[in-house]
Structure 1
Amino acid sequence: MYKVIFTLVLAVASFMGLQAQEFQGMAVYESKTSTSDFKTRMEGNKNMTPDMQKIIEERMKKMFEKTFILNFNKTASIYKEEEKLEASTQAGGGFRMMSSFAGGGGTFYKNVKDKQYSNDKEFMGKEFLVKDSLTSLAWKMEAETRVIGGYTCYKATAVKKPSATDFRNMRPRKEDADKKEGAKPADDKKTNFLDAVEVPKEIVITAWYTPEIPVSQGPEGYWGLPGLILEVNDGRTIILCSKIVLNPKDKVEIKSVIKGKVVSQKEYDEAVMKKMEEFREMNQGRGGREGGMQIRFGN
């Protein structure tokens, strides 16, 4: 109880301090998604050479290890992947498609006062501007604390339905049929990549926020806590703040972008899922030729 009261007092004091000035902050986040389960599948695949495994691992590392910049004020923020000079031109069609929805993509703007967000995304050569209401998670406040970057952070957890169009949420599909007693694994089982993965019905989110920076902001679409979220962990992806600058000398204009076809999140997800299904059917017709995403499971 003492910790909770102290947290509230600290948040109020800090908030009053921020009111005295035109507050703005910048936070750098490192995002990393574990691919160990996919690596295990590849290592058990006799049809995949060590060189092929190495190439795929390098491509997945580029897809799932990214740096983002969050610029925020008291009510709004913009979250965007850090621009890199090096562009990936070696990935096949399947990897390019997955990279476009493996986290990030355009500028994610959210206004916690209006509870609205927008995100400009490019998918399969088309530009979209996703505009919708922010999802409010039922955060469970914990008393556990830890220090991140010199800031005292408190733990909060929530259960979330993962997005089917965010590749980071996908897990290798369990082959229950092959595990049944007496069942024999297929001698040469071809599986389209999109058929070999699945999205769980729900995931547990663990967040660490600091009342010392009393803004209800965080990376990506995370928000709703009495302090800036410095770390988010969904069991597979970790987004960790590595640097914070309060009231930087060079201010950034925090506003929503306006380019792209305006769609709701549901409309965008449906468009992506439709394209994924078309890609899956096209890939099956290719029979594993170059540019497809055919992989083989089984010995």
Structure 2
Amino acid sequence: MKSIVTLVFAFCSVVTFAQKNFQGKAVYQSKTSFDMSRFEGREMSEQRKKQIMERMKNMLEKTYVLTFNKTSSIYKEEEKLEAPGQGRGFRFGGFTEGIQYKNTSDKKLLEEREMFGKKFLISEEPELPQWEMTAETKQIGNYLCYKATMMKKTDAFDWRNMRRRDDNKPKDTTKTKEVVEGVEIPKEVLVTAWYTPQIPVSNGPGEYWGLPGLILEVNSDKTTILCTEVVLNPKEKIQIEAPTKGDKVTREEYNKIVKEKMEEMREMFRNRRGGERRGRF
């Protein structure tokens, strides 16, 4: 009986994904842990720390929607109405992320970013991720998932990879970490993904793709991305189109612009603090 059910399910899956206009939608919950120890040594009450964590919640916990077909996808933060007086919460400086478009067939990635009111469109040809697939499995919702891992180079401008430097620990002589303004950034992190061949599209949340099935869970350093809902062939079709807004730049060009802007802001902050100290006398 079990074999018959399996065969029926497999037949239905083949029919579903053989459809010319196949489309799906997956909802992901992203959560990033935050080390409050970086506030140690400062005159700050527990109540104040709690207030900061509440303000940062919108940055640490987000909901994203991945709309996909056989080769293309759009990944963006879910739009939601804020409670009166809540505002948009804490944002990382003046940087805002927009939609991300992937085409796994043409190996094309376009990502919208906004920096202090100026819009950019980052264009790149992503390399196929070097996943190491295993036979380990687990169930996520109705889907049987397989485990895959890889070591991923970090983005020096991604705040999720930053951690407070501990001067009491021995210095890293293996050059596996980079230190910028007293903050440690690992050069590589271990990424664990769980994908399901039951949805045979080589796609996943954000920058993750390249496996023989939709990625339903990702664990990368302090961030976990978990799929909470999958809808195949929704009644309301969504157009998957590449974004066009913003100044088109490469990833390297964008990182250079960000670095220059951060250095400019750091210099302004130093000058302002210096002026405040001189004004006290």
Normalised by the length of structure 2, the TM-score is 0.84
8 A Cα contact 1:14 1:214, kept in partner: no
CA 1:238–1:289 in 2, change beyond 3 Å: closer, same or farther? farther
Match of 1:116 among 96, 103, 108: 108
8 A Cα contact 1:145 1:154, kept in partner: yes
Is 1:273 matched up with 2:259?
yes
Deviation at 1:11, TM superposition (A): 8.9
Is 1:162 matched up with 2:139?
no
Is 1:150 matched up with 2:135?
no
Deviation at 1:57, TM superposition (A): 1.3
CA distance in 1: counterparts of 2:243 and 2:63, whole angstroms: 20
Match of 1:40 among 10, 27, 37: 37
Query: Which residue of structure 1 aligns with residue 208 of structure 2?
Result: 222
CA 1:236–1:261 in 2, change beyond 3 Å: closer, same or farther? same
AA at the equivalent of 2:234:
P
CA 1:278–1:51 in 2, change beyond 3 Å: closer, same or farther? farther
Is 1:200 matched up with 2:196?
no
Render the CA deviation track for 1:111-133: whole Å, top value 9, x for unaligned: 00000010111111110011111
| Count of residue pairs brought into register by the alignment | 257
Deviation at 1:41, TM superposition (A): 2.9
Query: Alignment partner of 1:282: what SS?
Result: helix
1:216-255 alignment, distance < 5 Å: 216-255=202-241
CA distance in 2: counterparts of 1:28 and 1:16, whole angstroms: 23
AA at the equivalent of 2:45:
T
Query: Which residue of structure 2 aligns with residue 73 of structure 1?
Result: 69
CA distance in 1: counterparts of 2:248 and 2:217, whole angstroms: 30
Q: Which is further off, 165-174 or 21-30?
A: 165-174
1:15-94 alignment, distance < 5 Å: 17-35=16-34, 37=35, 39-42=36-39, 44-86=40-82, 89=87
AA at the equivalent of 2:95:
S
CA distance in 2: counterparts of 1:289 and 1:136, whole angstroms: 50
CA distance in 1: counterparts of 2:182 and 2:82, whole angstroms: 31
Deviation at 1:99, TM superposition (A): 6.9
Question: Structure 2: which 5+ residue stretches go unaligned?
Answer: 1-8, 171-179, 277-281
Q: Which is further off, 161-170 or 242-251?
A: 161-170
8 A Cα contact 1:97 1:123, kept in partner: no
Query: Alignment partner of 1:199: what SS?
Result: strand
8 A Cα contact 1:31 1:67, kept in partner: yes
Deviation at 1:54, TM superposition (A): 1.9
CA distance in 2: counterparts of 1:213 and 1:100, whole angstroms: 34
Deviation at 1:89, TM superposition (A): 4.7
CA distance in 2: counterparts of 1:231 and 1:247, whole angstroms: 21
Deviation at 1:168, TM superposition (A): 1.1
Deviation at 1:174, TM superposition (A): 2.6
Deviation at 1:106, TM superposition (A): 0.9
Normalised by the length of structure 1, the TM-score is 0.79
CA distance in 2: counterparts of 1:150 and 1:289, whole angstroms: 61
Query: Alignment partner of 2:73: what SS?
Result: strand
CA distance in 1: counterparts of 2:194 and 2:82, whole angstroms: 32
Render the CA deviation track for 1:205-241: whole Å, top value 9, x for unaligned: 0000000000001000110000000001012100000
Is 1:131 matched up with 2:123?
yes
Question: Structure 1: which 5+ residue stretches go unaligned?
Answer: 1-9, 181-193, 291-299
8 A Cα contact 2:94 2:115, kept in partner: no
AA at the equivalent of 1:275:
K
